[in-house]
Structures are given as structure tokens and as C-alpha cells.
């Protein structure tokens, strides 16, 4: 069962059942539908244990930093930066209430966890998005914490590593979210001016305003296998062009083929790949 | 077609229907008046109708809600960047192509003179007639459009010309080719490079400021919006479809997105509002052109006071400070 069945945009963006890692002793892989022993998947960095499948589960920012860093080396920063509701946004539910409901699902105040850590002995500044908090969307807090992380990497002469996993800019903060794209990109310009190394890792999904800003500005861009990566969502595109989307459209391998990512890297190899690139390009 | 004397303009917005009725009445009376012998009878009546029209226009436009503002921003007779270029830019020298893939007609770039200044102009293009609209994808640019913009802005930097951008797009084009050619990467690169471009940059949202497609030419030292333009992270329809599960709630989404010029000033995402003529730019385009030209000239004069390194630093700080959050 090597083939990952195509998923609709709604399925991809639906966080209710996918982003949370399922409970119970056994679990069914959403890609190959094999029954998997939960413990084995966990040890396998939340990658399907079927050799032919290797579906990469979405993981929380906390799990991600633990996977990326040498054991116990990650030190979180900027945990006191927390979201507000600047526009008093109300759709079917008030943003204020959404924030409260989402807060219980994660260990940090918003959709980003950042700090310093070691990757195979190399010190880095690391920022990871969390799909469990409003689909990893970028509002003021994500933009601010990421910018601080970039500035920290800059000031400390450290490589900057990000792991993107996001539905895009957060609608509930409207233009304030939009401007986080400019803010983070501007911070990366300064970092770039002074020769800082930025490695951007793209996980499933990386879309919208996150792709169209910092996530695509890596000196080196790595992508996990079969991650959805794009600007517009597949459903929007399908509605616009009124034709079937090509096989594997907007997946990591597609972007590799089109020249927009440097390497597609299995989760188990991310640490060694990052360490290797730091040794070539880091200060 | 746009005109300055309140004649019906073919296309009318729903909330402008009462205005249209008055305009029709005035037109009827005027045609009667032109027939011999009736002149005195209708003059007073016409005057009265004109007065109530003016009052109603003022009243209607004095309290436009967010959704009505979006409709004005999309009015077919609303001046587009091609009109502003025609009216405000002398000796426009269009420059084509991104030197990579092609020439996207959805973004126009070129040298021109505005007042005393030689500038490099970058502007979204929506198209006037059906053929143009299709060629421009209704103002939705492809990656080659953003790359063309960037390559010409680099030219401006090389030759020390300030950059003026006119924003008017529903959003960057969501298509197969656009994704294949790196829409996200093209916009991201513009954001990064505009933030450190060593010439002054001024931007005006003249109509629609749709998300990353707008910001992709909008990282500027000074950003203004026309009074009835909108600027937001997503179109009201797109937002409604996702959060309300139906595009029919676009009016609610428009309200919640705080997408009007005044709201954007309040949250600090833009600097200034350029007031439009009463009843919107489409009722008196000439007045709109004059205001836009005056704002550009004045703003470039202001920015010229700064040493360029200082200006780039201020531009960084401006965007660095955007966003609202709590901190213990």
C-alpha cells in the first residue's frame, strides 16, 4: 500500500481527528489503513510503521521540539507572549472562546513553540508551529515569537531552524495577521544581511500566508514526505480552474520536481540532515 | 462610464438604487425642459431634486458599512490603476517581463514622472473590457507578475528612483500554473526584498487589497488606502466560506474583518486614508486622481528628508511593531 490516497482539502484542514494523535493501544493509519501498535508509532517519531507507507503524522510543537533536539536540550523562550482578540472577531463562535478552547490542547500559549536547543550537538534557535492550536495559523503571537526567535538567532550567531505546519494566516486577526508575513520576512532579511543560516522545514500542511512568507525563505528548504505545500488550497484552485488537479499536486515531491524545495527528508533523518547542513553553512 | 455630473452610470449598487431613481427623475425633467415653453416650470423642481440627491448621497456614503464599502471598491466604473497612471503619471515608460518566464499583464511596471519626481511604478491591473479582464485574470497576478515587480524594483534601487505601488487585487491567482511556478515563493521573496530595498517606497490601496497578493507589492515606507478601498488577510467571501461555511455570509465576514481604510488605520496596518469625492471615486474620477497625485508628491517629499539607511531602518521598525498580543 505505497499509495497515499488523495485527500480533499476539507479533510486536510480538518483538525478534529487528524492533528491529535489518536488514543488507545492500537490505531489505524489514515493513509494505508493498517492497524498499528501505538507504542511502535510513537517510537517511530509518529511515522506509520508499515514500510511501504511511512505516513508522517502531524505532531504537536512539543513533540516536534523533542524529536528535533538532543534529549532535554530544548529551552523554551517567550512563553509569556499570548494572544488577545484585537478585533473582537465573532464568526459562528467568538475568537475569544476559540482561543480558550484551543489553549487546553497545547502546552504553549499560541500556535508556536520556540527556544534554543541542540541538534546533534549543534546549538540552534528553533521555532515550531503547532497544528493543534487553530491549525497552526499565524496571527500576532506567531509572528512576534518567530520574529524574536530570528532576532535571537541573529544576536547569538546561531542557525535558525523552523518547522512550518500551518493552514496560513489567522483570519480572526485580519490585516494584523497579514502583516506578520511582512514582519517575519523583514526579520529574515536582516538575518540574511549578516550571513545567518536559516533552514526551513515544511511539514504537512504548509499553506497560505505562512508559505508565502518565512517558510519559503529558507537558505535551505527541507520538506517531509508527501506534505501538502502550497499557496492556495487545492479546493480553491479546483473551483477556480474547473479541472482536475494533477497527480501529487502540491505535495513535497511535486515541489521538489518544480524546484521549490531542496530536499524531501524522512522524519527520522531530519536531525542528521540539519546537522550536516549546519556543518556546511553555519557559522 | 464614470462622469462628474451624477448621471446614471449603467451599473448601480443595491444601496444606491434610491439615488438612481432621483437621477432618472432629474434626467426626465431635464429632457422635458429642453423642449420649448417648459423651461420655467421645471427649474425649481429640478433644483429641489438635485438638492435631495445631494443630501441622500451624503447620507448614504456617510454611513457605508464594511460590505457596502467592498462593493464600492469593486464598482465597475471605479478608476483603476491604468486610469491613475493616465492621469497622474507623465511620460510613462512601461517595462515588461520578469526575465524568467513571461510578462504578466496583471501587474504593470515602468518608469514615469509624478509631479517633480521620477519614479518606478508598480501597479495591479484588473482590465477594462472583457478581453483585458481575462488576460489580467481580473487583477489576480501570477508568480511572474510578482517577479517582474521585484526585478523592476531592483532597477529602481540601482538607479535611485523611489517606488510607487498601486494595489488593486482580489488576491494572487490560485491556479495550477501559479502553484507550479512558485506563487508562495514569489510573494515571500518580494516581502523580504521590499523590506530592505534602498529607495523610498509608497503604496496606495486604490480598490481591493486582497491578502498576500496585495502585500506582495505593499511593503512600503508609507501605506495609504482610498476611503472606500478594502484591505484584509482574506476576501470576505473566502472568509465566510471557511468560517461561516457559506459564502452568503460575506457581509458579516466583511464587518468582522475590519477591512475598511479607517479600521486599518486604527489597528496600525496602514498609515493614512485618502478621502474620496462624495459618492466614491467613480462619481468624480478627476477629483480622485488629483488627491492621489497630491498624496504621492507630498509623501515622496516627506520621505526625501531621510537618509536612505535611516529610512530602511524605519521601514523595518514599522512592520516590526505590527501585531497585538499580551505579554506578562
Residue A168 confidence class, pLDDT cut points 50, 70, 90 = very high
Closest approach of B13 to chain A, Cα-based (Å): 25
Q: Is residue A34 part of a domain?
A: no
Domain encompassing residue A260: 58-281
Residue B231 confidence class, pLDDT cut points 50, 70, 90 = very high
Contacts of B249 (CB under 8 A, 6+ apart): B240
Q: Is residue A141 part of a domain?
A: yes
Closest approach of B119 to chain A, Cα-based (Å): 23
Rg (CA), chain A: 18
Mean pLDDT across chain B: 93
Residue A68: pLDDT over 90: yes
A211 contacts in chain B (CB < 8 Å)? 184, 188
Q: What is the DSSP string of A142-154?
A: HHHHHHHHHHHHH
Q: Which of B185, B216, B233, B264 to mutate to test the interface with A (most CBs of A within 10 A)?
A: B233
Count CB neighbours of B249 within 10 A. Answer: 20
A246 contacts in chain B (CB < 8 Å)? 176
Alpha-carbon distances, residue A97 vs A88, A89, B252 (angstroms): 11, 10, 18
Residue B245: pLDDT over 80: yes
Q: What is the pLDDT of residue B328?
A: 83
Looking at residues B51-69, what average pLDDT do you find?
Answer: 93
Nearest beta carbon to residue B243 from set A86, A171, A245: A171
Closest approach of A65 to chain B, Cα-based (Å): 23
> Could you report how far apart the first and last alpha carbons of chain B are, in Å?
56
Under a CB-based contact definition with an 8 Å cutoff, are residues B258 and A87 in contact? Answer: yes
Mean pLDDT across chain A: 92
B238 contacts in chain A (CB < 8 Å)? 236
Question: Is B233's CB within 8 Å of A175's CB?
Answer: yes
Residue B3: pLDDT over 50: no
Question: Is A176's CB within 8 Å of B322's CB?
Answer: yes
Question: Is B327's CB within 8 Å of A80's CB?
Answer: yes
Count CB neighbours of A4 within 10 A. Answer: 19
Question: Is B179's CB within 8 Å of A232's CB?
Answer: yes
Residue A11 confidence class, pLDDT cut points 50, 70, 90 = low
Counting one residue from chain A and one from chain B, the pairs whose CB atoms sit within 8 A come to 199
Residue A2: pLDDT over 70: no
Residue B292 confidence class, pLDDT cut points 50, 70, 90 = very high
Question: Is A171's CB within 8 Å of B269's CB?
Answer: no
Q: Which of B147, B185, B208 to mutate to test the interface with A (most CBs of A within 10 A)?
A: B185
Specify the range with the lowest mean pLDDT, choosing from A10-24, B10-24, B123-137, B177-191. Answer: A10-24
Q: Is residue A10 part of a domain?
A: no
Q: What is the pLDDT of residue A240?
A: 85
Residue B173: pLDDT over 50: yes
Element holding A122 (H helix, E strand): strand A122-129
Q: What percent of chain A has pLDDT over 90?
A: 85
B223 contacts in chain A (CB < 8 Å)? none
Name the residue among A167, A232, A164, A142 with its Cα closest to residue A18. Answer: A167
A91 contacts in chain B (CB < 8 Å)? 243-244, 252-253, 256
Residue A17: pLDDT over 50: no
Question: Is A215's CB within 8 Å of B193's CB?
Answer: no
B196 contacts in chain A (CB < 8 Å)? 186, 189-190, 193
Nearest beta carbon to residue B187 from set A144, A212, A233: A212
Residue A260: pLDDT over 80: yes
Return the residue matching grid coordinates 511596471: B109
Question: Is A245's CB within 8 Å of B326's CB?
Answer: no
Q: Report the number of distinct structural domains present in chain A.
A: 1
Question: Is A181's CB within 8 Å of B191's CB?
Answer: yes
Q: What is the pLDDT of residue A15?
A: 47
Looking at residues B261-272, what average pLDDT do you find?
Answer: 98
> What is the β-pairing status of strands A122-129 and A160-166?
parallel
Question: Is A178's CB within 8 Å of B232's CB?
Answer: yes
Given 3-state DSSP classes, what are the helix, strand and coil percentages for chain B, each rounded to the nearest 5?
A: 50, 15, 35
Return the residue matching grid coordinates 491567482: B173
Question: Is B324's CB within 8 Å of A140's CB?
Answer: yes
Nearest beta carbon to residue B322 from set A183, A243, A250: A183
Vertex B14, ends B13 and B18: CA angle to 5°?
100
For B119-160, the pLDDT digits (tens) are 999 999 999 999 999 999 999 999 999 999 999 999 999 999
Looking at residues A267-275, what average pLDDT do you find?
Answer: 98
Question: Is A175's CB within 8 Å of B267's CB?
Answer: yes
Q: What is the pLDDT of residue B166?
A: 98
Nearest CA in chain B to A177: B233
Residue B309: pLDDT over 80: yes
Q: What is the pLDDT of residue B35?
A: 74
Q: What is the pLDDT of residue B7?
A: 42
Vertex B210, ends B136 and B252: CA angle to 5°?
130
Q: What is the pLDDT of residue B38?
A: 56
Q: Is residue A74 part of a domain?
A: yes
Q: What is the pLDDT of residue B247?
A: 87
For B150-173, b where at least 16 C-beta lie within 10 A, e where not — what string? bebbeebbeeebbbbbbbbbbbbb
Looking at residues B216-242, what average pLDDT do you find?
Answer: 97
Looking at residues A2-23, what average pLDDT do you find?
Answer: 50
Summary count for chain B: helices (H), strands (E): 14, 9
For B4-45, the pLDDT digits (tens) are 444 445 677 889 889 889 999 999 888 887 775 655 678 888
Looking at residues B231-251, what average pLDDT do you find?
Answer: 94
Question: Is B320's CB within 8 Å of A187's CB?
Answer: yes
Closest approach of A24 to chain B, Cα-based (Å): 31
Q: What is the pLDDT of residue A24?
A: 80
Nearest beta carbon to residue A182 from set B180, B191, B231: B191
Residue A1: pLDDT over 80: no
Closest approach of B232 to chain A, Cα-based (Å): 5
Closest approach of A93 to chain B, Cα-based (Å): 9
Closest approach of A150 to chain B, Cα-based (Å): 12
Nearest CA in chain B to A233: B174
Closest approach of A35 to chain B, Cα-based (Å): 33
Q: Is residue A24 part of a domain?
A: no
For A90-145, the pLDDT digits (tens) are 999 999 999 999 999 999 999 999 999 999 999 999 999 999 999 999 999 999 99
Q: What is the pLDDT of residue B5?
A: 42
Q: What is the pLDDT of residue A282?
A: 73
Q: What is the pLDDT of residue B41?
A: 74
Residue A243: pLDDT over 70: yes
User: What does the block give as the cell for B235?
Assistant: 476576501
Distance CA A181, CA B195 (A): 11
CATH number at residue A258: 3.90.226.10
Q: What percent of chain B has pLDDT over 70?
A: 95
Q: CA torsion angle for A51, A54, A60, A64 (degrees, to 10)?
A: 70
Question: Is A186's CB within 8 Å of B316's CB?
Answer: yes
A241 contacts in chain B (CB < 8 Å)? 175-176
Question: Is B253's CB within 8 Å of A91's CB?
Answer: yes
Name the residue among A116, A163, A118, A172 with its Cα closest to residue A141. Answer: A172
Specify the range with the lowest mean pLDDT, choosing from A141-155, A185-199, B8-22, B303-317. Answer: B8-22
Looking at residues B237-262, what average pLDDT do you find?
Answer: 95
Closest approach of A159 to chain B, Cα-based (Å): 18
Q: What is the DSSP string of B219-280?
A: --SEEEEETT-EEESS-HHHHIIIIISSGGGHHHHHHHHT-BHHHHHHTTS-SEEEPPPTT-
Nearest CA in chain A to B315: A186
Q: What is the pLDDT of residue A219?
A: 98
B211 contacts in chain A (CB < 8 Å)? 169, 178, 209
Amino acid at each position: 500500500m505505497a499509495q497515499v490516497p488523495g485527500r480533499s482539502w476539507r479533510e486536510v484542514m480538518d483538525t478534529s481527528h487528524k492533528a491529535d494523535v489518536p488514543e488507545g493501544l492500537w490505531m489505524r493509519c489514515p493513509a494505508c489503513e493498517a492497524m498499528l501498535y501505538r507504542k511502535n508509532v510513537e517510537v517511530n517519531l509518529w511515522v506509520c510503521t508499515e514500510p511501504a507507507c511511512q505516513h508522517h503524522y502531524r505532531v504537536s510543537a512539543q513533540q516536534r521540539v523533542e524529536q528535533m533536539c538532543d534529549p532535554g536540550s530544548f529551552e523554551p523562550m517567550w512563553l509569556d507572549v499570548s494572544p488577545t482578540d484585537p478585533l473582537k472577531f465573532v464568526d459562528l463562535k467568538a475568537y475569544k472562546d476559540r482561543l480558550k478552547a484551543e489553549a487546553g490542547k497545547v502546552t504553549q500559549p499560541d500556535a508556536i513553540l520556540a527556544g534554543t536547543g541542540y541538534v546533534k550537538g549543534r546549538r540552534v534557535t528553533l521555532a515550531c508551529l503547532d497544528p493543534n492550536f487553530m491549525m497552526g495559523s499565524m496571527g500576532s503571537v506567531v509572528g512576534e515569537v518567530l520574529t524574536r526567535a530570528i532576532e535571537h538567532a541573529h544576536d547569538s550567531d546561531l542557525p535558525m531552524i523552523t518547522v512550518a505546519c500551518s493552514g496560513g494566516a489567522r483570519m480572526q486577526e485580519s490585516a494584523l495577521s497579514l502583516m506578520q508575513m511582512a514582519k517575519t520576512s523583514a526579520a529574515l532579511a536582516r538575518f540574511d544581511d549578516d550571513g545567518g543560516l536559516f533552514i526551513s522545514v515544511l511539514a504537512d500542511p504548509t499553506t497560505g500566508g505562512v508559505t508565502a512568507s518565512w517558510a519559503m525563505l529558507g537558505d535551505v528548504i527541507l520538506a517531509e514526505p508527501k506534505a501538502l505545500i502550497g499557496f492556495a488550497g487545492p479546493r480553491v484552485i479546483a473551483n477556480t480552474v474547473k479541472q482536475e488537479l494533477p497527480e501529487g499536486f502540491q505535495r513535497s515531491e511535486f515541489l521538489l520536481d518544480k524546484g521549490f524545495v531542496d530536499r524531501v527528508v524522512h522524519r527520522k533523518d531530519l536531525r542528521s540532515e540539519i546537522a550536516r547542513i549546519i556543518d556546511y553553512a553555519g557559522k | 462610464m464614470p462622469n462628474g455630473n451624477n448621471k446614471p452610470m449603467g451599473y448601480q449598487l443595491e444601496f444606491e438604487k434610491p439615488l438612481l431613481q432621483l437621477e432618472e427623475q432629474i434626467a426626465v425633467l431635464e429632457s422635458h425642459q429642453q423642449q420649448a415653453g417648459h423651461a420655467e416650470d421645471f427649474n425649481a423642481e429640478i433644483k429641489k431634486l438635485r438638492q435631495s440627491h445631494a443630501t441622500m448621497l451624503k447620507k448614504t456614503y456617510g454611513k457605508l458599512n464594511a460590505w457596502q464599502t467592498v462593493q464600492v471598491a469593486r464598482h465597475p466604473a471605479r478608476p483603476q490603476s491604468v486610469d491613475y497612471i493616465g492621469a497622474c503619471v507623465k511620460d510613462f515608460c512601461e517595462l515588461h517581463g520578469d526575465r524568467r518566464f513571461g510578462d504578466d499583464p496583471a501587474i504593470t511596471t515602468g518608469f514615469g514622472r509624478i509631479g517633480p519626481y521620477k519614479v518606478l511604478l508598480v501597479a495591479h491591473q484588473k482590465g477594462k473590457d472583457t478581453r483585458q479582464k481575462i488576460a489580467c485574470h481580473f487583477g489576480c497576478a501570477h508568480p511572474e507578475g510578482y517577479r517582474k515587480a521585484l526585478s523592476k524594483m531592483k532597477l529602481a534601487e540601482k538607479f535611485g528612483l523611489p517606488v510607487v505601488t498601486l494595489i488593486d487585487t482580489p488576491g494572487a491567482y490560485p491556479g495550477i500554473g501559479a502553484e507550479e511556478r512558485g506563487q508562495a515563493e514569489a510573494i515571500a521573496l518580494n516581502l523580504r526584498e521590499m523590506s530592505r530595498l534602498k529607495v523610498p517606497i509608497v503604496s496606495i490601496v486604490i480598490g481591493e487589497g486582497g491578502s498576500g497578493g496585495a502585500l506582495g507589492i505593499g511593503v512600503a515606507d508609507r501605506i495609504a488606502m482610498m476611503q472606500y478601498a478594502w484591505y484584509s488577510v482574506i476576501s470576505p467571501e473566502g472568509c465566510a466560506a471557511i468560517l461561516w461555511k457559506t459564502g452568503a455570509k460575506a457581509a458579516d465576514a466583511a464587518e468582522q474583518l475590519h477591512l475598511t481604510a479607517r479600521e486599518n488605520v486604527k489597528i496600525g496596518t496602514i498609515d493614512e486614508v485618502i478621502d474620496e469625492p462624495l459618492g466614491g471615486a467613480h462619481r468624480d474620477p478627476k477629483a480622485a486622481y488629483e488627491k492621489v497625485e497630491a498624496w504621492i508628491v507630498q509623501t515622496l517629499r516627506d520621505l526625501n528628508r531621510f537618509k536612505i539607511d535611516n529610512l530602511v531602518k524605519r521601514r523595518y521598525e514599522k512592520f516590526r511593531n505590527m501585531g497585538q498580543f499580551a505579554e506578562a
